[in-house]
Amino acid sequence: MNKLAIDLNNIISETTPYELLSDFGKRLYFPKGIVAQSAEANQRAKVYNATIGMAVSHGEAIELDSLKKLLPDLKPAEAVTYAPTGGDPALLKLWKSDMIRKNPGLIAESISTPVLTSGLTHGISLLMDMFVDRGETVVIPDMFWGNYRLMIEECREASIASFPFYTEDKKLNIDGFTETIKKSAKNMKAVVIVNFPNNPTGYSPSTDEAHALKNALVALADEGYKLLVIMDDAYFGLFYETDTYKHSLFNELFDAHENILAAKGDAATKEHFVWGFRVGFVTFGCKGMTAEQYKVLETKMGAAIRASISNCSRPAQSLLLKAMQSPTYEAEKKSYEAELKERYLKIKAIIQKHQDDPVLDPLAFNSGYFMTYYMKKGSAEELRQKLLEEGIGTISIQDKYLRVAFSAVDDENIEDLYERIYKAAAKL
């Protein structure tokens, strides 16, 4: 093992995060090569800086006129230069302060600096690399985003342990979480992914459910389980009911127990309506961790980024930073969040009208982009195909669920869409 990796490991050797690291995670270190030497030169090379592989003219990075016309508000340093491996420090600082504003239980000194990733998918993939070994198990509910399977089963050669997302009365199955963790833990280590608002169901826990889930995880930690709890907060902020827990579960877990490492994966992707920017973040929280120890996790994740994509998109980071600094930005976001809520309320009324439908049983939903039907009879794939014949696209899951992304359909078309879905289901 490289001495730099050993030095990093020694700093966190007495902590739960170290025990949770995969073999690859333990071997990760940030090399003192071109990037590190260039960073040092940026501070000290005041005469000539001949370190980094960029083309410079008269003190600025070369930028083609064609690009300048497309990005008139960005300087060359904001548009075409390499970004730091862990992300633009100004954006990381702003994202962290915004995260704390939206999750007021957080304490700035008790969580890490976010590490910038190329979208949330990349962030979760990095977490799998850093903490999951071949043959280990990741616990997730049975209603999960299909990309987890590629990350866990194919990329890491690990396995998924799932359980019913809902109880019989359509509440969050917290007992299923804890029982599955106990059954699948290896050497008292367990990795869990929670995704709220959930894809594909569109469900987020109530405040009582969020607290109950936290208490259940803390109880496991008290028993000696070492837990990595990953929050996939892709659709964070899109909460439509008053009793829905309005924060990330990270708000509850970042300082809950020395045996719980909480990792918040979030992104500008959906939260800020910039899907193609591919700007995501990973932030760590664990009771008793110091700034120096958090820096180890940040460095190891930076090393994983360096070893794969080198760094993330500079113009996307610059544009997001400037947009978030705009005095009208928050109001612009809220207007579109309100529009999505209006669609949700309209769908609820339609579902109420069809509550006795013999085919379609809507799963509980209260947030995010989606809602999902359980097929009481018939095939979800057959229904999907019937809808396609009418020019309507939906997603079938396990041939017994049909997911509808109401986020992708204008408000004035919602009623027509759902009436067509019910009519097609009646023909099965």
In a domain, 158, yes or no: yes
In a domain, 218, yes or no: yes
Residues 6 or more apart whose CB falls under 8 angstroms from that of 242 comprise none
Verify that 315 and 337 share a domain, yes or no.
Answer: no
Tokens of 81: 């230069």
Q: Would you state the pLDDT for residue 134?
A: 96
Q: Would you state the pLDDT for residue 235?
A: 95
In a domain, 361, yes or no: yes
- Helix, strand or coil for residue 255? coil
Verify that 346 and 383 share a domain, yes or no.
Answer: yes
Q: Would you state the pLDDT for residue 45?
A: 67
- The CATH number assigned to the domain holding 376 equals 3.90.1150.10
In a domain, 53, yes or no: no
Verify that 226 and 317 share a domain, yes or no.
Answer: yes
Verify that 106 and 243 share a domain, yes or no.
Answer: yes
Residues 6 or more apart whose CB falls under 8 angstroms from that of 355 comprise none
Verify that 298 and 242 share a domain, yes or no.
Answer: yes
Report the candidate in 187, 256, 255 with the shortest Cα–Cα distance to residue 19: 187
Verify that 122 and 260 share a domain, yes or no.
Answer: yes
Q: Would you state the pLDDT for residue 42?
A: 73
In a domain, 55, yes or no: no
Verify that 362 and 384 share a domain, yes or no.
Answer: yes
Verify that 298 and 356 share a domain, yes or no.
Answer: no
Q: Would you state the pLDDT for residue 138?
A: 98
C-alpha dihedral, 331 to 334 to 339 to 345, nearest 10°: -140
Verify that 258 and 150 share a domain, yes or no.
Answer: yes
Angle at 345 between CA 414 and CA 336, to 5 degrees: 80
Verify that 303 and 193 share a domain, yes or no.
Answer: yes
Tokens of 296: 């180890």
Q: Are 130 and 296 a contacting pair, CB within 8 Å?
A: no
Residues 6 or more apart whose CB falls under 8 angstroms from that of 398 comprise 380
In a domain, 40, yes or no: no
Taking the C-alpha atoms of residue 109 and residue 319, their distance in angstroms, rounded to an integer, is 27
- Helix, strand or coil for residue 383? helix
pTM, 2 dp: 0.94
Look at residues 299, 324, 349 and tell me which one is the last residue of a structural domain.
Answer: 324
CB count, 10 Å around CB of 341? 15
In a domain, 62, yes or no: no
Tally of domains within the chain: 2
Residue 61 backbone zone (phi > 0: left; psi -120 to 50: alpha; other: beta): beta
Length of the chain: 428
Taking the C-alpha atoms of residue 163 and residue 287, their distance in angstroms, rounded to an integer, is 28
DSSP for 45-91 reads --S----SS--EETTEE---HHHHHH-TTS-HHHHTSPPPTT--HHH
Q: List b or e across 47-83, with b for residues whose CB sees 16 or more CB atoms inside 10 angstroms.
A: eeeeebeeeeeeeebebeeeeeeebeebebebbbbeb
Taking the C-alpha atoms of residue 206 and residue 244, their distance in angstroms, rounded to an integer, is 4
Look at residues 324, 340, 375 and tell me which one is the last residue of a structural domain.
Answer: 324
In a domain, 95, yes or no: yes
Verify that 241 and 124 share a domain, yes or no.
Answer: yes
Q: Would you state the pLDDT for residue 60?
A: 87
Domain encompassing residue 385:
330-426
C-alpha dihedral, 97 to 102 to 106 to 110, nearest 10°: -30
Look at residues 268, 295, 324 and tell me which one is the last residue of a structural domain.
Answer: 324
Residues in the chain, pLDDT under 70: 33-34, 41, 45
Verify that 316 and 337 share a domain, yes or no.
Answer: no
